[in-house]
Amino acid sequence: MTANPKMVERQNLDKETVKQINKLHDFDLEIREAMDSICDFNDAIRDLAVQWNLNQFALQILWGFACDARRHEDFTLPKCSCPYFDNMELLGTDMRYVNGDCIIHGFKQKVFSA
C-alpha cells in the first residue's frame, strides 16, 4: 500500500517519512492477515489488535497528526463483530458501539457495564 499522494502534499512530508509510512501500512496489512489466519486464540487476536493500535499511533505521528485512539478504525479489524456503519459515524468521538460477543472488544463492555 502506498501513502495517498494528496495527503502527502497537504502534510508536506519528505520522501523518508513517506517510505516509513508505506512500511507501516504494509505492517498494518500483515497484522490483519495474521488476525485473519488465527482461529480461536482470543488472546493472540487481542495481542495483534494491540500491535495494530500501536502501529496506528506510529502512523499518526509520521503523518503529523495528534496521537488519537478515537480516530482508530479498529472496528474494521478481522474477527471484529462490532457494527461498522454505526462506528464510522462515531469516529473521532469517545463513544463506540461494542458487540458484547466481539473477540477483540467484547471484554470492554463487561468492564464498563460492571
Where on the chain is the footprint of Zn ion (CB under 5 A)?
80, 82, 102, 104-105
C-alpha cell at 43: 488472546
3 or 78: CB nearest Zn ion: 78
Q: Could you tell me the smallest distance in angstroms from the CB atom of residue 30 to Zn ion?
A: 20
26 or 101: CB nearest Zn ion: 101
22 or 107: CB nearest Zn ion: 107
For residues 13 and 21, the answer to whether their CB atoms sit within 8 Å is: yes
- From 91, 92, 75, 74, select the one nearest 83 (Cα to Cα): 75
3 or 98: CB nearest Zn ion: 98
Q: Could you tell me the smallest distance in angstroms from the CB atom of residue 108 to Zn ion?
A: 9
C-alpha cell at 98: 461494542
* Stated length of the chain: 114
Q: Could you tell me the smallest distance in angstroms from the CB atom of residue 72 to Zn ion?
A: 12
Q: Could you tell me the smallest distance in angstroms from the CB atom of residue 101 to Zn ion?
A: 9
Sequence letter at residue 61? I
For residues 105 and 99, the answer to whether their CB atoms sit within 8 Å is: yes
